Structure 1
Amino acid sequence: MAIQFRGMTRYGPMYGPDFTFLGVPACDWREPSSYADADVVIVGAPFDGGTSHRPGARFGPQVIRGTDYLPHDGSRPHMAMRVDALPNVRDAGDLEVFSGEIARSCATIEDAVAFIAGHGAVPLILGGDHTVTWPDVAGVARHHGAGNISVIHFDAHADTGDIEFGSLYGHGQPMRRLIESGAVRGDRFLQVGLRGYWPGPDVLDWMADQGMHSFHMSEIVDRGLAAVLDRVFELALDGCDGVFLSVDIDVCDPGHAPGTGTPEPGGLTARQLLDAVSRICHELPVVGMDLVEVSPPFDHAEITAMLGNRVVLEALSGMARRRADGAGPRWNRAKPLLEGRGSAQRDPETAQHDPGSAQHDPGSAAQRDQPA
């Protein structure tokens, strides 16, 4: 996709070399014919002008796309089947955003996201700081209707501030702006992983008045993440047609995600986040998603970049598994990896196929209909 950026023609990311997420076909978000057969369109929002502490998330889309070391041919052993997650995915490159111009950048992002959603694809936005979630969700809500989608928000921080550092716009305020605008109902805002020492009592009172549901890490530790997600799922589809999933990488403990703008100790593990994203995208009708706050300048050995890459891949795989399963019943996560596999348990005519394929695994059809 060719874009004009400061008088130069570019094809894809604003920063660094031009390539797509794991090599999927490129598209132009302004040309629906270029993604007419796509289920998901990835687009970068390389904006960190709303950052309050450590910058660098503008470089997030680049490393999320490119930090990998293996080909991905659709084999998902942990899902007990083969899921071709990538063939129905396109990458529209990065949107042109404007340094120092938050309102203008947000308008550009919202228009692009709304356009993609309006042409039948799920927008998956790579940030960028969490400011971009405001236009991301607003764009999806513009298509699906204000108040018709819920938001599942993984984050160390509530991001419901009012005026921060003299501005209404920044990465600590997008959730308040979305609720105030009517794009999302307060009682369908579901936050997971909050911790730390902000916000203060006045903001917490405002959140309670809106009917928000916020699950602190202390509650997750006591009840278990699976039980918390069960409750989140109950609430998410009550009166809503779809779910927007917003993942701030700082929901993870800094030991698992050091490369972020506002790290906070005591968070989720990488394993917990990947499992949660996979489950959400498999079991719920996800109509939009973003991954934000990956800041490469503060990363170590690409730990955070790799996690970000895998968050996106797990989301795509969960969506693909949902399509394969129809209504999206849960598969048995506890099923032993090699159960039902091996040449003795397979039809000789299909022995050359991937042993992880559900259609060639005698036990998988029954197993995936059982609750985990």
Structure 2
Amino acid sequence: MNDLHLQPATFTWRKEMPLADHPAKVHQWIRTINELKSVEEREKPDCVFFGAPLSRSSISPSGASEFPEYFRRSWKGFSTYNMDYDLDFSGMQVWDIGDIAMHGTDINLCHRFIRETSNAVHNHFRDSLIGGIGGDHSTTAMLVKGMKEIYPDKKIGILQFDTHFDLRDPSEQGPSNGTPMRQLIEAGTVEGKHIHNIGLHGFYNTKELCDYAKKKGVRYVPLRLARKYGLEQVVSEILNTLENEVDMIYVTIDMDVLDMTYAPGVPAATSGGMRPEELLEAVFLAGSHKKVKAFDIVCLDPLRDTIRQTTVQIGTSVFLTMICGLLSRGNNNDSG
């Protein structure tokens, strides 16, 4: 693990001793990098995640780099039992391996560190679900590229929950949070037809971007139609389509997919977006799919979250709901 660009998280919980066999709270349950120093090689975590605290690459002013810390601070407010699905995930192994070190000004160097860390984590934990806690959406391109380097012969599909296409031209916008999907298409990392976006709505994308999406075969269901057909049904059909077309699936959750009423803590808050319960149901379906190999949660700015950390609470719920989905797979975690 010394080959990773990782450093300890800026915040960790002091574990209460002695711990119960089945810890009731998330902050007692997740194993941190300090606890993992003596981990035996044979231990195989169900999920490994790390922070990617980068937001200098954001088009809109953003404090999304702060989310990994606020995410960890929120754990004490969550139990290890989800009443909606009657699932107790306290017996699962979920490891927090710290944050990727970031350069203060060099975005390209930060992106290199993210790609190389993703590469190393996917190589080391081939049987685990891999999670990235952003950071802005520019991190996604690097996380997927690092994954592809480990599985060069595998086709990767992307399920994207987002208000935006994120298909802006990198030659004009640079490696920003507005360009990750286009970066992946133009690099040949992911085929356009294997990207599915749910959450597009309103007046927040240009016709030029829509035309580019159609040209490259990017598939999308505007939120209005997804609600008309049934969001759960749409997500299930997308996962079934990807299951037949790709070897593994990457899920990226841009928190600006939520309506600004529920998620004030995003840099590009909009009206008319998803409700939290819609996103959580969709994330559970994604997490339960056997080909979902990795995910990220991006573009959540806790510095804008002025009312009881509303958006951070939802972001943490998204993460834990993904874990619940993983648990619902049973022992069949053969994601490629």
TM-score by length of 2: 0.86
**Counterpart residue identity of residue 249, structure 1:** M
Q: What RMSD, in angstroms, separates the aligned Cα atoms of the two structures?
A: 2.9
In structure 2, how many angstroms separate the alpha carbons of the residues matched to 1:304 and 1:229? 23
Structure 1, unpaired ranges of 5+ = 329-372
Kindly indicate whether the alpha-carbon contact (under 8 Å) linking 1:116 and 1:122 is maintained by their aligned counterparts in 2: no
In structure 2, how many angstroms separate the alpha carbons of the residues matched to 1:18 and 1:117? 24
- 2:103 maps to 1:98: yes
Kindly indicate whether the alpha-carbon contact (under 8 Å) linking 1:160 and 1:172 is maintained by their aligned counterparts in 2: yes
Pick from 258, 262, 278 the counterpart of residue 256 of structure 1: 262
Kindly indicate whether the alpha-carbon contact (under 8 Å) linking 2:156 and 2:249 is maintained by their aligned counterparts in 1: yes
**SS at 1:315's partner residue?**
helix
Q: Counterpart of 1:133?
A: 140
Kindly indicate whether the alpha-carbon contact (under 8 Å) linking 1:245 and 1:289 is maintained by their aligned counterparts in 2: yes
In structure 2, relative to structure 1, the CA distance for the partners of 1:95 and 1:27 (3 Å cut) is same
- 2:171 maps to 1:174: no
The superposition leaves residues 100-151 of structure 1 with CA deviations (integer Å, 9 ceiling, x where unpaired) of 3221111101111111111223220000010100111111222222661100
Q: Counterpart of 1:211?
A: 217
Larger radius of gyration, structure 1 or 2? Answer: 1
**SS at 1:187's partner residue?**
helix
Kindly indicate whether the alpha-carbon contact (under 8 Å) linking 2:141 and 2:184 is maintained by their aligned counterparts in 1: yes
Q: Counterpart of 1:50?
A: 57
The superposition leaves residues 17-62 of structure 1 with CA deviations (integer Å, 9 ceiling, x where unpaired) of 3349734212389999679421211100000011111310010111
Kindly indicate whether the alpha-carbon contact (under 8 Å) linking 2:236 and 2:285 is maintained by their aligned counterparts in 1: no
In structure 2, how many angstroms separate the alpha carbons of the residues matched to 1:303 and 1:293? 14
In structure 2, how many angstroms separate the alpha carbons of the residues matched to 1:4 and 1:83? 28
**SS at 1:72's partner residue?**
coil
In structure 2, relative to structure 1, the CA distance for the partners of 1:71 and 1:231 (3 Å cut) is closer
Report deviation, 1:298: 0.7
- What percent identity do the matched residue pairs reach? 23
In structure 2, how many angstroms separate the alpha carbons of the residues matched to 1:34 and 1:122? 17
In structure 1, how many angstroms separate the alpha carbons of the residues matched to 2:103 and 2:284? 33
Pick from 24, 31, 37 the counterpart of residue 25 of structure 1: 31
**Counterpart residue identity of residue 106, structure 1:** H
Q: Counterpart of 2:22?
A: none
Report deviation, 1:154: 0.3
Kindly indicate whether the alpha-carbon contact (under 8 Å) linking 2:235 and 2:285 is maintained by their aligned counterparts in 1: no
**SS at 1:238's partner residue?**
helix
In structure 1, how many angstroms separate the alpha carbons of the residues matched to 2:274 and 2:123? 34
**Counterpart residue identity of residue 63, structure 1:** Y
Q: Counterpart of 2:232?
A: 226
In structure 2, how many angstroms separate the alpha carbons of the residues matched to 1:83 and 1:137? 27
In structure 1, how many angstroms separate the alpha carbons of the residues matched to 2:38 and 2:268? 37
In structure 2, relative to structure 1, the CA distance for the partners of 1:69 and 1:327 (3 Å cut) is closer
**SS at 1:63's partner residue?**
helix
The count of corresponding residues between Structure 1 and Structure 2 is: 318
In structure 2, relative to structure 1, the CA distance for the partners of 1:38 and 1:224 (3 Å cut) is same
- 2:72 maps to 1:65: yes
**SS at 1:268's partner residue?**
coil
Report deviation, 1:4: 12
Runs (4 or more) in structure 1 with deviation over 4 Å come to 1-5, 28-36
Q: Counterparts of 1:68-87 in structure 2 under 5 Å?
A: 68-70=75-77, 72-73=79-80, 75-84=81-90, 87=92
Kindly indicate whether the alpha-carbon contact (under 8 Å) linking 1:54 and 1:260 is maintained by their aligned counterparts in 2: no
The superposition leaves residues 253-282 of structure 1 with CA deviations (integer Å, 9 ceiling, x where unpaired) of 111111001011101100111111011111
- 2:273 maps to 1:267: yes
- 2:138 maps to 1:122: no
**Counterpart residue identity of residue 233, structure 2:** A
Kindly indicate whether the alpha-carbon contact (under 8 Å) linking 2:137 and 2:178 is maintained by their aligned counterparts in 1: yes
Report deviation, 1:173: 0.3
In structure 2, relative to structure 1, the CA distance for the partners of 1:239 and 1:33 (3 Å cut) is farther
- 2:162 maps to 1:186: no
Structure 2, unpaired ranges of 5+ = 15-25
Report deviation, 1:327: 7.8
Q: Counterpart of 2:329?
A: 322
Kindly indicate whether the alpha-carbon contact (under 8 Å) linking 1:147 and 1:182 is maintained by their aligned counterparts in 2: no
Q: Counterpart of 1:290?
A: 296
In structure 2, relative to structure 1, the CA distance for the partners of 1:31 and 1:327 (3 Å cut) is closer
Kindly indicate whether the alpha-carbon contact (under 8 Å) linking 1:257 and 1:303 is maintained by their aligned counterparts in 2: yes
Kindly indicate whether the alpha-carbon contact (under 8 Å) linking 2:4 and 2:117 is maintained by their aligned counterparts in 1: no
In structure 2, how many angstroms separate the alpha carbons of the residues matched to 1:327 and 1:36? 15
**Counterpart residue identity of residue 25, structure 1:** R
Kindly indicate whether the alpha-carbon contact (under 8 Å) linking 1:84 and 1:320 is maintained by their aligned counterparts in 2: no
In structure 2, how many angstroms separate the alpha carbons of the residues matched to 1:118 and 1:276? 28
In structure 1, how many angstroms separate the alpha carbons of the residues matched to 2:109 and 2:40? 27
In structure 2, relative to structure 1, the CA distance for the partners of 1:81 and 1:58 (3 Å cut) is closer
In structure 2, how many angstroms separate the alpha carbons of the residues matched to 1:314 and 1:122? 13
* Range with greater deviation from structure 2 (179-188 or 63-72): 63-72
TM-score by length of 1: 0.78
In structure 1, how many angstroms separate the alpha carbons of the residues matched to 2:300 and 2:95? 21
**SS at 2:274's partner residue?**
coil
